[in-house]
Amino acid sequence: MKACILAGGKGTRLKHLFPDTPKGLVPLGGKPILEHQIDLLVNAGINEIFLLTGYRGELIQEYFGSGEDRNATLHYLQEDVPLGTAGAFKQLEGKVSEDIVVLYGDLVVDFDLATLLAFHQKQKALATLVVHPNDHPYDSDLLEINEECDVLNWFPKNNRPDGIYANLVNAAIYVFRPDIFSWIPKGCTDFGTDIFPLLLQKHQKICAYRTSEYIKDMGTEDRWQKSSHDFESGLTARRNLTNPQRAVFLDRDGTINRDVDLLCDMTQLELLPRASQAIRQINNSEFLSICVTNQSVIARNLCDLGELQQIHNQLETLLARDQAYLDHIYFCPHHPDSGYPEERAEYKINCECRKPNTGLVLAAKEK
């Protein structure tokens, strides 16, 4: 397998800290961010890497050379005019005949690449996109997925109506089958704006790989400072799923939002005071923030699964306005008491996921 790093960024928002420095050479922990990405790929057994450069690309090539000293073979393609993310990638057509990993060159990353690749192979998708919640979904591309991890809808950051959305963000790491090139026209074109919406329109299979591992865009001064702190503290490496993870498990009603008896409409949801602040503190700690909640409104037929998802979208939207997020929400739709005419009998069961049973926690552990 081969990999591609899109490293054409100017680093405009970092120019006060690093003038005349291409974004890929911005330092993190004493070495360029691109070097961390190359190390991640090589350690996963991917040794042939294409670096697609733009602004001051000669500095990147001068720094890394052939890659031989890093046990890698590096190829450079310099764009003379901006081609967009997909347009730049199109330059590899004819050079790649197998699945390929694509990373954006401004990401601070440490994740279990082997698990991502196994997921991609299992899903048999044309494209697998890494997704996660973050503390700035308002300036990120958002997705809607189903329980099988198929991408259903794509909401680009630059052309998204105001509304209620799940905090599920495109993390800018992809795995593509080689036939992806047939869907990319020549010229200036972008994955988020052009290609992914086209693939969905044409009913091509795109899957989402959700992870809580460390993947952050360091393209602003604040984000670079935060990423540098996390790297120096070791948090970046500890979030890799090859390591044991720690989490804070939160109930929903009465803990995050006001307790409304049998909340079944998103307009009823109101955050408790300081709930966002508390969750943001978890986000900035060593711990994952995971919500586990009994939602018998499904079994009672007060709302359906789609309406419950809208309630959770509302919850995530309100938290995101305060730069807070939940790494995951797990819910039990069941209720043990049956015999009511309006109930949904298939959910009126004794189950292992209804608290105080441990099924939801165990599901999170397995994930």
Instruction: Please compute the mean of the pLDDT values over residues 96-123 and round it to a whole number.
Output: 97
Mean pLDDT of 96-107: 96
Q: Domains in the chain, ordered, with CATH?
A: 2-233 (3.90.550.10), 246-366 (3.40.50.1000)
Q: Any idea what the Cα angle at residue 20 is, between residues 56 and 194, rounded to 5°? A: 55
pLDDT exceeds cutoff 80 at 15: no
Closest to 36 measured CA to CA, from 214, 170, 284, 192: 214
Instruction: Identify the pLDDT of residue 19.
Output: 82
DSSP state of 272: P
Residue 31, beta-bridge partner list: 28
Average pLDDT over the chain reads: 95
Predicted local distance difference test score (pLDDT) of residue 339: 79
pLDDT digits 0-9 by tens, 192-250: 999 999 999 999 999 999 999 999 998 889 989 999 999 999 999 999 999 999 999 99
In which band, very low, low, confident or very high, does the pLDDT at 298 lie, cut at 50, 70 and 90? very high
Q: Which of 159-163, 168-172, 207-211 has the lowest mean pLDDT?
A: 159-163
User: Cβ(2)–Cβ(96) under 8 Å?
Assistant: yes
- Which residues lie below 8 Å from residue 213, measured CB to CB, with a gap of 6+? 109, 110, 111, 112, 132, 239, 240, 241
What pTM was estimated for this model as a whole?
A: 0.94
Residue in 253, 265, 304, 322 annotated catalytic: 253
Please count the CA atoms within 13 angstroms of the CA of 116 that sit on its side-chain side: 29
253 noted as active-site residue: yes
- Looking at residue 227, its pLDDT comes to 93
Handedness of CA 198, 203, 205, 206 (dihedral sign): positive
pLDDT cut 70: percent of the chain above it: 99
pLDDT at 12: 76
pLDDT in tens, 279-295: 999 999 999 999 999 99
**What's the pLDDT score for residue 215?**
96
* Calpha distance 112→101 (Å, rounded): 13
Measured in whole angstroms, the distance separating CA 9 from the mean position of its chain's CA atoms is 20
Selected catalytic residue, list 139, 251, 259, 337: 251
Taking the mean position of all CA atoms in its chain, how far away is CA 355?
A: 28
CA atoms within 13 A on the CB side of 117: 16
Q: Is the peptide bond before 133 cis (omega within 30 degrees of 0)?
A: no
pLDDT of 73-89, one tens digit each?
999 999 989 999 999 99
